[in-house]
Structure 1
Amino acid sequence: MPLSPYLSFAGNCSDAIAYYQRTLGAELLYKISFGEMPKSAQDSAENCPSGMQFPDTAIAHANVRIAGSDIMMSDAMPSGKASYSGFTLVLDSQQVEEGKRWFDNLAANGKNRNGLAGNFLGAWLWQSHR
């Protein structure tokens, strides 16, 4: 059974999807905004379980595939107060040229933590976006 991360964004999920498509060649499998969802009794703030309302353009659910792995994402918070302090995704390429291309694309707008170099784990590590 595969394990897929689910990332929550604070209103910039569409930007993240576009970024992953541009830098990593992500394939958009599915995307629905809150405005595209069927209307229900939960559309009013008093009936919404989280007590939150989202703009029609906010992403309710999306699924992208990067190098064979699915990542789900949305602008919605699961419940309560969420903190958007960052996350880590590991990209694993079996081809050196593909790994270099990913690195270069991410480095263009990211923070290069220790360059493109091998380490004792036999991998190239740590590129941060924003």
Structure 2
Amino acid sequence: MALVNPYLAFDGNCEEAFNFYKSVFGGEFLGGISRFSDMPSEHYSPGQENQVMHVMLPLGNGTSLMGSDTPGPEAAGKDANVSIAVSPDSEENAKHIFNGLAAGGTVIMPLDHAPWGALFGMLTDKFGFKWMVNYDANAGK
């Protein structure tokens, strides 16, 4: 079995976004925030020195959310046809995560009971990334 860890590309606001995600999920950045200035200058463009080269926020159960500032067409954000699915461990945690990520964003489907028995909701966060929150009390039983 392999773990899948989303790696988000930003156009200069990675640090702001990851501080926001840290406020929602809690925890600390693994290894801190690496900046382009930590590398030899031939590996980044002038003006990119203080931007994020790599950041990693552990979310639990061996998964992490990772990201970097990647200017240009590689920066995904709202145009990406991808959603990040989160499976919280409790209804309370599902509400906390959903409401936290929705702050400043757009709720696509409010967090509510879904036909498959789970508490489910979808949103786009204020950085343009799509999230699905699914808490299933019967999962793993």
Same fold (TM over 0.5): yes
1:74 alignment partner in structure 2: 68
Whether the 8 Å contact between 2:104 and 2:125 is mirrored in structure 1 is: yes
Paired residues in the alignment total 118
- Percent identity over the alignment is 25
The aligned amino acid for 1:55 is Q
Report what 2:95 is aligned to. Answer: 100
| Residues 1:96 and 1:65: Cα distance change in structure 2 (over 3 Å) | same
Deviation at 1:33, TM superposition (A): 0.2
Of 110, 114, 119, the residue aligned with 1:119 is 114
Q: CA deviation at 1:24?
A: 2.1
Gaps (5+ residues) in structure 1?
A: none
Equivalent residue for 1:63, pick from 56, 65, 89:
56
Tell me the amino acid that sits aligned with residue 37 of structure 2. Answer: G
Query: Which has the higher Rg, Structure 1 or Structure 2?
Result: 1
Per-residue Cα deviation, 1:11-57 (whole angstroms, up to 9, x for no partner): 111011101011222431132001122x2xxx34xxx5xxx615111
Give SS of 2:83's match: coil
> For the Cα contact (< 8 Å) 2:69–2:75, is it kept in 1?
no
Q: What is the deviation of 1:81?
A: 3.9
Deviation at 1:83, TM superposition (A): 5.0
Judging by fraction of residues, say which structure has more strand: 2
Could you list the runs of 4 or more consecutive aligned residues of structure 1 that deviate by over 4 angstroms after TM superposition?
none
CA contact (8 A) 2:9 2:67 kept: yes
RMSD, aligned α-carbons: 2.2
Unaligned segments of structure 2, at least 5 residues? 127-141
Offset from partner CA, 1:36-87 (integer Å, 9 cap, x none):
22x2xxx34xxx5xxx61511111111111243212211136xx84253244
